[in-house]
Amino acid sequence: MDLRQLEIIRAIADTGSFTAAGEKLHVSQSAISRQVLLLEAELGEAVFHRVGRRIRITPAGESLLQLSHRVFQDLQDTIALISDTSETLRGTMRLVGSMTVCLYVFPSLLAQVRRTHPDLDLKVTVGSGERSLALLRSGAADLGLVTLPVEASDLESVPVLEEELLLITYPAHPLARKGEIRPSDLVRQPFILFEAGSITRRLVEAFFTRQRIEPEIVMETENVEIIKAMVRSGLGISIVPWQAAAADVRTGQLFCSRIAGHALHRQTGWLYPKMRRLPRAVSEVMRVFDTIRPQFEATVRAPRAAPFAPS
């Protein structure tokens, strides 16, 4: 059995006749018949039944047909992979991410991607979780870096970071003077939270439910910079990723603390449409991220000491 015979099996199955298969492959009908006879002699099984002018594939022929699909797909994938790796990466790479990702992860990541692949055109869209899913499903985005988990059978998710969530207040807030902040200290506090429906919001709400806290929500937004600005102005307190608050804590604009006995985390990961073979641009962005992941892992978790008083 050889590739040519598998190709003939596919052509006969596709066209429905030996004559049409010969025309498709640019060989004579007799050459097609001869190859089928040789194959049937080798297998000891009929591959096609000839019923008048009609051709009907046998179970043995169906098995060979499925084998031919797999073999030729593997060949196509291998040729494409060799071609990809031997060519300069060009074209457009469309990324989507949450506000936090776009502010604190994408700048360093995309700078490294640009150094590695200077001819790759990078486009970034800020999107909520729902918008990110819609962009990926419509083909308007190639790869997303979003908060997980995402329940979507048509999309593949790959966790890459675990971010710590901490309580933030303005430095003169009464909670900032406490040596330890407990869940009961949050009762009747005004909160500025991420928008309803977001995964981060659901994580925070789950914590509130476990602790039987009914928060007074005075504002909600998907923009972490707006949340911090409102907290700095004394309009409320919030729970945000450490990497979003770290610089403000260092400059004395925010106070940050863990909630005693309660570790809050969220997972961030890649999201992309399920497919047999990832486009090279997608796999390359993910690969570049892996090379610099340690620098992000060092920024998404706060120091062990808590609370974090302004310096």
Would the pTM of this model clear 0.75, i.e. be above it? no
Bond into 59 cis (ω within 30): no
The domains found in the chain, sorted by start residue, are: 3-86 (1.10.10.10), 91-160+267-297 (3.40.190.10), 164-265 (3.40.190.10)
Q: What is the pLDDT of residue 84?
A: 58
Chain segment 227-261, per-residue pLDDT in tens: 999 999 999 999 999 999 999 999 999 999 999 99
DSSP track, 117-184: -TTEEEEEEE--HHHHHHHHHHTS-SEEEEEE----TTEEEEEEEEEEEEEEE-TTSGGGG-SSB-GG
288 Cβ partners below 8 Å, 6+ apart?
A: 109, 112, 113, 116
Instruction: Output the CA torsion 182→198→132→288 (10° steps).
Output: 10
Chain segment 59-117, per-residue pLDDT in tens: 998 998 898 888 887 887 676 666 555 467 888 999 999 999 999 999 999 999 999 99
